[in-house]
Amino acid sequence: MFIVNNYLLAVILCFVTMLCWGSWANTQKLAGKTWRYELFYWDYVIGILLFSIVLGLTLGSTGEMGRSFLTDLGQITSENYVSALIGGAVFNLGNILLSAAISMAGMTVAFPLGVGIALVLGVIVNYIGAPKGDPMILFLGVALVVVAIILNAVASGKMHKGSNASTSKKGAVVAIIAGVLMAFFYRFVASAMDLDNFESPTPGMATPYSAFFIFSVGIFLSNFIFNTIIMRRPFVGKPVTYREYFRGHMSTHMVGVLGGIIWGLGTALSYIAAGKAGAAISYALGQGAPMVAALWGIFIWKEFKGASRTVDYLLALMFVFFISGLGAIIISGAN
């Protein structure tokens, strides 16, 4: 299987993760013009599962290092299977709530709040589980990113005053709950893998490719529970049915599948990079996604159109702190 052997490559893969995690929600925006997010989400989940299978049969089955994808699936212990499946279910609930928050409060509000909370709690949880890198520099970097997220939230608050304030507030609350849930999913999957030795993993433990596949199965199976409930009792709008889903156009379905593939690529690369960078650093770099989402919101979706000079200054400071934070996180892993 393909294995990362140097820290620089691991960092590059983590940056791709950040781009993917910060960009997949654009497909929800596109589909949302004619398609409820609850229906979009089914295509998104299917995209993740299909991508995990393709990745396992390609990169996860080539080369002489490590165990091949199918061989690895056959030797994983039930404990590690359950851990990765739980990770999928926890992520799915958190991500469904994050998707709901995006539909209520906008991409620029929901992403910074939800993913920002996930960043802080997630780095703490993952570092305790698998300490790697200089903790002082790592948490300094996290603190700088948090400041950037707060600046973005303040700027967003100044742009969401008025008739939609109630909906935005509700979306913000849902985003916070989503962030707490998403802080823990990564650790469940990472604990199923032998992060110290991908070349000769401990018997019974998973490689990144098999762990990601099991994680994706957990997302898919739990979606029959979580998303069905949300379809019947949506946060916004009327209930939707599976009949409406199957009436959707193929082009609309493919937008959701593409969103799942984009997110799946980022997540898989994060787990692959974690062997060299460490789970906490890999997770932290990927969680720079809010700033990527903010860029999309600012320049493509025009969520800050007509902003005051104060908002412009806040956004400029946000990116200064964000870039400084990413730099500190990268340096922490090199020490």
Does the pLDDT value for residue 102 go beyond 50?
yes
- Please indicate, yes or no, if residue 254 is contained in any of the structural domains: yes
Does the pLDDT value for residue 14 go beyond 50?
yes
Q: Closest by alpha carbon to 108, among 298, 247, 269?
A: 298
Q: Closest by alpha carbon to 237, among 106, 40, 103, 45?
A: 103
Whole-number Cα distances in Å, 114 to 73, 96, 173: 33, 12, 9
- Please indicate, yes or no, if residue 1 is contained in any of the structural domains: no
pLDDT for 233-261, tens place per residue?
988 789 999 999 999 999 999 999 999 99
- Please indicate, yes or no, if residue 206 is contained in any of the structural domains: yes
pLDDT for 37-61, tens place per residue?
899 999 999 999 999 999 999 999 9
Alpha helices in the chain (DSSP H): 7-23, 25-31, 37-57, 69-73, 78-105, 107-129, 135-159, 165-190, 208-232, 242-246, 250-277, 279-286, 289-299, 309-334
Average pLDDT over residues 128-150: 89
- 164 is in which domain, residue-wise? 7-334
- Please indicate, yes or no, if residue 2 is contained in any of the structural domains: no
Q: Closest by alpha carbon to 231, among 213, 245, 249?
A: 245
What pLDDT does residue 163 have?
45
- Please indicate, yes or no, if residue 276 is contained in any of the structural domains: yes
How many domains does the structure of the chain reveal?
1
